[in-house]
Amino acid sequence: MKRALSISCLWICLLVLSSSVIMGQDNHLDITPTPQSLVQKNGHFILNSKTSFAIGKTQRADLKKVAAYFQSKILYSTGYNLNIKNSGSSNAISLQIDKSLKIGNEGYQLTVTPKKVIVKAKTPQGVFYGMQSVMQLLPPQIESETIIDNVAWEIPCVEIKDEPAYGYRGMMLDVCRHFHDVEFVKKQLDIMAMFKMNYFHWHLTDDHLWTIEIKKYPRLAEVGSVRRNADGSIHRGFYTQEQIKEVVAYAAERYITVIPEVELPGHALAALTAYPEYSCTGGPFELRNKWGVEDNVYCAGNDKTFEFLQDILEEVIPLFPGKFLHIGGDECYKGFWEKCPKCKMRMQKEHLKNLEELQSYFVKRVAAMVQKRGKQVIGWDEILEGGLAPEAIVMSWRGMKGGIEAAKQGHSVIMTPTDHCYLDFYQGDPTVEPNTYSMLRLQDCYKYQLIPDSVDASLIMGGQGNLWTESVPHYRQVEYMIWPRALAISETLWTDARLRNWKFFVNRVEQQFERFDRSGVNYARSIYDPIIYPHWDKEHQLKIAMKTEIEGLSLFYTFDNTIPDIYSNMYTDTLSIPKNASMLRVAAYKRQEQAGRLIDITIDALKKRAAEGEKK
Ligand code: TNX
């Protein structure tokens, strides 16, 4: 897939000219991701019980579906069951396909006048995105799951022309470390669609669980989907093929393509527990019940391993009509291969010089099977080691370098580097966040610059946010980790980089919080928490610098164990630690109200952090 056509200068100029409107505080113009061009006009359209959808005389089934989708969303909160008609000269939301538009296939044009809302696009997908923008122009109550009376359902008059910067705008969910059921996955697809994301990468197999039913190998689901945790508790879950089809169809209605990931040659212990004969040692194994990577991987010397994988893929491929299939490829330990007689034979026979080449042989052999079935393979950037499989798409996660290298070799790339896209990392101070590792603040996601210098931009398909779930046991926490950081990711993938503006983005994120509250979506408010930097000065005294991620907050703190409020000391400059202090307590206030969480951190913990900071 090629990067969508670059946005014309005219659009940029239009946006700059209209930026005073956009940057304003008008809540009704809070569309995320920011449209490429938006001009506000006077007046508004009022949606009421008599408003109808107009989808044209031909009553295209695809437009009818789009209309029906939003009809039911609007019904929930307004109680209005809008009619779907052929035409309507006033009080109508007109959905139109216009192939002559000078816009990409996912783009749309939205015109709102007091009489009419017109959404035009080349494709139903474009119309769908135009309608998502309409929803965001309505008051936040539109997201309510129950009827709300006494709301003026106004849509401000606007002229929007919009299309994505990148064709691949994804989210990955790992359901192997912690399983999440179909209903929850569907809810995430709904939310992704609101922000015009179009690929759902479903990490279905790993050392810790195998989560997809394979009829020919029933033990994969029977054995591979049940884990005994280290504390003796059981964690289990898999999807039947019927459920998979249901999710794929549900996603398609939201213009989201589902990409399954079947991990190989590593991250395969759940499969090997069920069928140990495809490992080098023969097992027996148990599903991995501590985090980290398992050493036992598929045997690369045994032809039966490839037959097994082929059989699995033969069942997986028809379930996913999209053109991509992810075969993992990351973090494969090769120590057993080194000792395994069959693997050694394979290396000899195939003239493979080292274990990296054996890994490459493995990936290439499976990639060829997948490609024979008409699919393109995606692999994590380790598939570069020992030589890339022809046509393989590289998902660059260990920074951008894998992506750069792959693009230099002429391969397509999906950028998902840890320091912008890893939604399993902390997003605020570790003392108040659920336990995990490393740091990725909202701002880090927003700074995501996909195209490094020196690569052919057309090979960068786009990017995605990744949620690994080692430390995410509960579905509410999945949402907490994804939102709002995925808003930043969606904007970096949709909106032209030149139009990005952190301050304006934060305003919109804050408006979105209200919408999430209304629709029962969990999210993190970590942007309101203080950021604390303990460090040693030249005299080796502990000092504390603090700041906030967003503007408009003041920090109040105490060292005497009392709870800070606006009458406490306000932070203005680097602090020294008073004698006998044992704890710093600090909270951010927005005007008179406490905005973020109270952070309590002992002086000992601050010292430890300062030391760790020095090591970095
Ligand atoms: C690396 S990213 C992994 C995952 C872990 C993740 C934790 C990648 C291809 N592999 O298996 O869950 O780090 O952040």
pLDDT digits (tens, 9 = 90+) for 287-297: 999 999 999 99
Q: What is the mean pLDDT of residues 133-154?
A: 96
426 lines ligand 1 (CB under 6 A): no
Q: Please tell me the predicted confidence (pLDDT) of residue 16.
A: 41
Three-class SS state of 576: strand
- In short, whether 330's Cβ falls inside 6 Å of ligand 1 is yes
- Residue 468 alpha carbon to ligand 1 centre in Å: 7
Nearest-CA residue for ligand 1 atom 9 is 330
Q: Is the pLDDT of residue 599 over 60?
A: yes
Worst-scoring range by mean pLDDT, 1-10, 59-68, 435-444, 549-558?
1-10
Counting atoms of ligand 1 from 1, which one is nearest the CA of 206?
11
483-501: average pLDDT: 97
Confidence bin at 616 (pLDDT 50/70/90) = low
Rounded Cα gap, residues 321 and 259, in angstroms? 9
What pLDDT is stored for residue 192 in this prediction? Answer: 98
267 is annotated as an active-site residue: yes
- Cα–Cα distance measured from residue 168 to residue 563, given in angstroms and rounded to the nearest whole number: 47
Which band of pLDDT confidence, cut at 50, 70 and 90, is reported for residue 474?
very high
Query: What is the position in ligand 1's atom list of the atom closest to the CA of 468?
Result: 12
pLDDT on residue 310 = 98
Q: Which pLDDT belongs to residue 6?
A: 43
Q: Whose CA is nearest to atom 10 of ligand 1?
A: 330
Ligand 1 atom showing the smallest separation from residue 330 Cα: 9
Task: Tell me, using a 6 A CB cutoff, whether residue 468 lines ligand 1.
Answer: yes
Is residue 68 pLDDT above 70, yes or no? yes
Average pLDDT, the chain: 94
Residue 422: which of 435, 434, 433, 437 has the closest Cα? 437
Determine the straight-line distance between the first and last CA of the chain, rounded to whole angstroms: 39
Question: Is pLDDT at 508 greater than 90 in this prediction?
Answer: yes
Mutation to probe ligand 1, out of 468, 469, 481 (largest number of atoms < 8 A from CB): 468
CB contact at 8 A, 383 and 389: yes
Q: What is the mean pLDDT of residues 8-17?
A: 43
Residue 5 banded pLDDT, cuts 50, 70, 90: very low
What is the rounded CA–CA span in Å between residue 70 and residue 197?
17
Q: Which of 331, 338, 510, 600 is catalytic?
A: 331
Residue 615: pLDDT band (50, 70, 90) is low
Q: Is 206 a catalytic residue?
A: yes
Residue 614 confidence (pLDDT):
73
- Please check whether residue 160 is in contact with residue 37, taking contact to mean a CB–CB distance below 8 angstroms: yes
Q: Is 483's C-beta closer than 6 angstroms to any atom of ligand 1?
A: no
- Tell me how far the alpha carbon of residue 422 lies from the centroid of ligand 1, in angstroms: 9
pLDDT of 89: 83
Q: Which two tokens stand for residue 410?
A: 């002429």
Question: Which tokens is 597 given?
Answer: 């969480």
Q: Is the CB of 425 under 6 A from ligand 1?
A: no
Q: Residue 424: CB within 6 Å of ligand 1?
A: yes
Check if 380 has its Cβ closer than 6 Å to any atom of ligand 1. Answer: yes
The protein residue with its alpha carbon nearest to ligand 1, atom 5, reads 468
Residue nearest to atom 8 of ligand 1 (CA): 330
Residue 61: helix, strand or coil by DSSP? helix
The pLDDT assigned to 96 comes to: 97
CA atoms within 13 A on the CB side of 316: 26
At residue 20, does pLDDT exceed 50? no
DSSP codes, 184-199: HHHHHHHHHHHTT--E
What pLDDT band is residue 113 in, cutting at 50, 70 and 90?
very high
The answer, yes or no, to whether residue 156 has pLDDT greater than 50, is: yes
Residue 12 burial (CB count, 10 A): 15
State the pLDDT at residue 179: 98
To test ligand 1's pocket by mutation, which of 330, 382, 437 has the most ligand atoms within 8 angstroms of CB?
Answer: 330
pLDDT of residue 13: 41
Question: Which of ligand 1's atoms lies nearest the C-alpha of 422?
Answer: 14
List the residue whose alpha carbon is closest to atom 13 of ligand 1. 468
Are 541 and 610 spatial neighbours (Cβ–Cβ below 8 Å)? Answer: no
Q: Average pLDDT of 302-327? A: 98
Q: How many secondary structure helices (H) and strands (E) does the chain include?
A: 18, 25
Model pLDDT for residues 244-273, shown as the tens digit of each residue:
999 999 999 999 999 999 999 999 999 999
CA of 470, closest atom in ligand 1: 12
Residues 178 and 472 sit within 8 Å (Cβ to Cβ): yes
Whether the model pTM is above 0.85: yes
Q: What is the largest CA-CA distance in the chain?
A: 80
Band (451; pLDDT cuts 50, 70, 90): confident
Chain centroid, CA 310 distance in Å: 29
Q: Pick the catalytic residue: 267, 326, 411, 420? A: 267
pLDDT score at 59: 85
Least confident residue range of 13-17, 519-523, 601-605: 13-17
- pLDDT tens, position by position, 399-450: 999 999 999 999 999 999 999 999 999 999 999 999 999 999 999 999 998 8
Q: What percent of the chain has pLDDT over 90?
A: 92
User: What is the average pLDDT across 559-571?
Assistant: 98
Mean pLDDT value across residues 370-395: 97
* Percent of the chain clearing pLDDT 70 (strictly above): 95
Confidence of residue 22 (pLDDT cuts 50, 70, 90): very low
* Closest-lying ligand 1 atom to the alpha carbon of residue 291: 12
Closest ligand 1 atom to Cα of 469: 12
Answer yes or no: is pLDDT of 195 > 70. yes
**Is 350 part of the annotated catalytic residue set?**
no
CA of 64 to the centre of ligand 1 (A): 41
Question: What would the two tokens of residue 470 be?
Answer: 């080692």
Q: How many Å lie between the centroid of ligand 1 and the Cα of residue 308?
A: 25
- Number of Cβ within 10 Å of residue 322's Cβ equals 17
- Residue whose CA is closest, atom 12 of ligand 1? 468
Non-local (6+) Cβ contacts of 231 within 8 A are none
When comparing pLDDT for 325 and 450, which is higher?
A: 325
Is the minimum distance from the CB of 397 to ligand 1 under 6 angstroms?
yes
For residue 362, pLDDT beyond 90:
yes
Alpha carbon of 8 to ligand 1 centroid (Å): 38
Task: Provide the Cα torsion 351, 354, 357, 358; round to 10°.
Answer: 80
**Secondary structure E strands in 402-529:** 413-415, 460-467
Ligand 1 atom at minimal distance to the Cα of residue 382: 9
pLDDT at res. 8: 44
Cα of 512 vs centre of ligand 1, distance in Å, is 29
The secondary structure element, H or E, covering residue 260 is strand 257-264
